[in-house]
Amino acid sequence: MADITRRLGWRHLRGAPTAHIRHHRGGKLLHDGPGLSFWFRALTAALSEVPVDDRELAMTFHARTSDFQDVAVQATVTYRISDPAVAASRLDFSIDPDTGAWRGTPLEQLGTLLTETAQQHALDVLSRTPLSAALVDGVTAVRERIAAGLAGEPRLPSTGIEVVAVRVMALRPEPEVERALRTPAREQIQQEADRATYERRAVAVERERAIAENELASQIELARREEQLVDQRGTNARREAEEHAAADAVRAEAEAARTVRLADAEAARSVRLARAEAEGAREVGEARAQAQAAWLRVHGEVDVATLHALTGTRLAENLPRIDSVTVSPDVLTGLLARLGTQEQS
């Protein structure tokens, strides 16, 4: 849109480099070109602004294939106005001298023209193509056909329109048909995934089996070595027991010999001690017998009074020491009675 400012009944227009400005006054062309800047009067000026830059026109339309399946076509047409004078004479690109806005909708008219022309050629090629072929090679075929059709359309050059490029982004069937078409591919992909999973599991199981076999072989080898170690320990224990038994036997024999020697010595000492004790007892007995005999001989030659005196002496020697004697009246009476009886007798 052109930039228009007001100054005391005059208007100043400043256009963009991508906009072609045409200024008429009284049926005469005063200014014609892109990026112009000039003063004008609003009451006598006729202005038009034609864009000369490349523009993108996105379009989406439905078509039907030869097997009666609906498809949606998404395409983009790039175009530009190559002849602004022709375009301004065929379409209404006039602008308001006060605001700079278009009075009509020229770009919408161009969009309708291009969309209908492209749709006509796309429908023509898709109506003779089955759905499967359209989904595989339809994008290229539709793009080439639209480009050729727009290039051969006589109305576009007569309107000053030049098609720069045509792009077809997608040909999509209806959602139900698309899901049905995706199912075999999904099943195949799932089968491949399952096969890969099974192969991976098989490889994992094989590796686990190999690891288990290695562990089992290691355990068997370890058990065999432990058995050898146990046998060797048993052999060493038997050898050590035999050596200990031999040493114990030697010690026992030595202890028995020593015990025998000690017993013999003790027996000999006991015999000698018994003999000495017997000899001493015999000598003591003989001495006692001799003393007894002598004592008897001595006592046999002594009279009875002497014997009584000796007996009293011996008795007095053997009596315990008496510090004091208490004589009760009864005892004293008895003693006196006995003394009196003895004197009478």
Lowest mean pLDDT across 58-67, 134-143, 145-154, 294-303: 294-303
Residue 248 clears pLDDT 60, i.e. is over it: yes
- pLDDT of 249: 84
Give the span between the Cα atoms of 153 and 149, in whole angstroms: 6
- pLDDT of 142: 92
> What are the CA-CA distances from residue 25 to residues 8, 41, 46, 344 (Å)?
19, 9, 6, 217
Residue 322 clears pLDDT 70, i.e. is over it: no
Residue 3 clears pLDDT 60, i.e. is over it: yes
- pLDDT of 324: 66
Bridge partners, residue 34, by sequence: 20
Q: State the average pLDDT for the chain.
A: 85
- Please say whether the beta carbons of 24 and 55 come within 8 A: no
Lowest mean pLDDT across 162-166, 204-208, 253-257: 253-257
Q: Which of 147, 96, 98 is nearest to 121 (CA)?
A: 147
- pLDDT of 94: 92
